[in-house]
Structure 1
Amino acid sequence: MSNNASNVTQGKPAVAGAIAYAPIGTTLPTDAATKLNDAFKQVGYITEDGVVNSQSIETSSTKAWGGDTVLNSKTSATDTWKFAMMESLNPDALKLYYGEENVTGEVDTGMTIKANSLDQVDHVIVIDYLLKNNVLKRVVIPRAQITAKDDVTYKDDSAIVYGVTVSAVPDDDGNTHYEYIKKKGETA
């Protein structure tokens, strides 16, 4: 197979919103084009840093007498997703960051946010991308846990952002996430 520049692309956010989440048990999408059901909530704009997926493994080496490595055993594997939400007035973004039960109300009528040490609920997370040449890509994380939160900075010349690291936990089939790619058609 020869080199093909048309296979090189970038990951732009989908126009209608790139990151959505829903409760565990919500029917998962199984392609790149089907509209998400109403259980999914959009978190809105993400910072220009986009979404970073880190997949890593750790191994343990077994050495033979004389120092040769004769076995490498996998001891752990991680699949994390990092992004920062910019819509600091979006209740759905705040609920993902603080926990569903810790955000009540709306901006127009009054919103209350509680910060505490309650365990946060796992979610399904979907990330939609628009690649070049009208190709759609969808990542589905069937069980996502927020495992780290960035500092929230309040500054007069910067947007308030809520950065999170999401760890993908294996589903019943042992998969941490699924990726679907499809050329956008007339009905997509």
Structure 2
Amino acid sequence: MAQNKYLVSTFRPQTAGAISYAPLGTAVPTNAVDELDPKFTKLGYISEDGMTKSFDFDSDTEKAWGGDPVNNIFNGKTTTFEFKLIELLNKAVNQAVFGQNNVTGDLETGITVKDTNAEPESYAWVVDMIGKNGALTRIVIPSASITDMDDITYATSESAGYDITITPQADENGVTNTTYIQKAPTTAAKPSTGGKD
């Protein structure tokens, strides 16, 4: 296949927000265009850095006498996703980070967020993006939990946020996440806006 500059792309979030989460076991989409299950909740604005998908390969290189590399031993790979949630006044955002039972109330009457040492909950996650020429790109993570979070800075010079890293767990087939890419529908079908806003 010849080079094609139209297949090079940057990505932006969908209008309603890019990242959604739902209780573990919620039906996840199998393409880039279907509507999300209503159990999914959008997590609002993400910082301008977007999302980073990282890979950590665990491998060893064996060398022969004399120093020549002769064998690469693959011990496994860990994939992580990092993004910064900046809607700290959003109850759903706090529940995703601190746990459903640790966040109560609402913004009108008051939100209470309890920070405990409990193990982070696992959720289903979906990331919806729009690439060049409106191509829809969706990353589906059926099960992942928060495994790291950066410091929170409360200041007037920048938006405070939860800069979290989630690590997917593999399914029975060893798959941790799946990416779907498809042209945006041109008929009556519309791109997904996700579940609850």
Does TM, normalized by the shorter one, top 0.5? yes
Query: 1:148 maps to what in 2?
Result: 148
Deviations 1:2-40 (A, max 9, x none): 211100111100112100001111001101011111111
How many pairs align?
Answer: 188
CA displacement at 1:158 relative to structure 2? 1.7
Q: Which amino acid counterpart does residue 143 of structure 1 have in structure 2? A: S
Q: Which amino acid counterpart does residue 175 of structure 2 have in structure 1? A: N
Deviations 1:103-131 (A, max 9, x none): 11111121110011001111111000011
Percent identity for Structure 1 against Structure 2:
38
Q: Which amino acid counterpart does residue 82 of structure 1 have in structure 2? A: E
Structure 1 segments of 4 or more deviating over 4 A?
A: none
Query: 2:61 maps to what in 1?
Result: 61
**Cα separation, 2, equivalents of 1:98 and 1:6:** 41
CA displacement at 1:68 relative to structure 2? 2.1
Contact 2:28–2:37, Cα closer than 8 Å, also in 1? no
**Cα separation, 1, equivalents of 2:70 and 2:180:** 37
**Cα separation, 2, equivalents of 1:27 and 1:109:** 33
Q: Which amino acid counterpart does residue 75 of structure 1 have in structure 2? A: N
**Cα separation, 2, equivalents of 1:168 and 1:68:** 36
Where 1:116 maps in the other structure, the secondary structure is coil
CA displacement at 1:69 relative to structure 2? 1.9
Q: Which amino acid counterpart does residue 23 of structure 1 have in structure 2? A: P
Where 1:93 maps in the other structure, the secondary structure is helix
**Cα separation, 2, equivalents of 1:71 and 1:101:** 50
Query: 2:30 maps to what in 1?
Result: 30
Query: 1:161 maps to what in 2?
Result: 161
* Structure 2: unaligned runs, 5 residues or longer: 191-197
Deviations 1:104-162 (A, max 9, x none): 11111211100110011111110000111111010001111100011111102221111
**Cα separation, 2, equivalents of 1:51 and 1:101:** 27
| TM-score normalized with structure 1 length | 0.96
CA displacement at 1:163 relative to structure 2? 0.8
**Cα separation, 2, equivalents of 1:142 and 1:168:** 8
**Cα separation, 1, equivalents of 2:133 and 2:153:** 37
Higher relative contact order (CA 8 A, sep 6+): 2
Deviations 1:68-97 (A, max 9, x none): 222111123110000001111111111111
Query: 1:126 maps to what in 2?
Result: 126
* Structure 1: unaligned runs, 5 residues or longer: none
Query: 1:75 maps to what in 2?
Result: 75
**Cα separation, 2, equivalents of 1:105 and 1:41:** 17
Query: 1:177 maps to what in 2?
Result: 177
**Cα separation, 2, equivalents of 1:68 and 1:150:** 41
Query: 2:40 maps to what in 1?
Result: 40
**Cα separation, 2, equivalents of 1:33 and 1:92:** 24
Contact 2:123–2:143, Cα closer than 8 Å, also in 1? yes
Where 2:105 maps in the other structure, the secondary structure is strand
Q: Which amino acid counterpart does residue 113 of structure 2 have in structure 1? A: I
**Cα separation, 2, equivalents of 1:37 and 1:146:** 22
**Cα separation, 2, equivalents of 1:56 and 1:7:** 27
Contact 2:103–2:111, Cα closer than 8 Å, also in 1? yes
Where 1:6 maps in the other structure, the secondary structure is helix
**Cα separation, 2, equivalents of 1:92 and 1:149:** 17
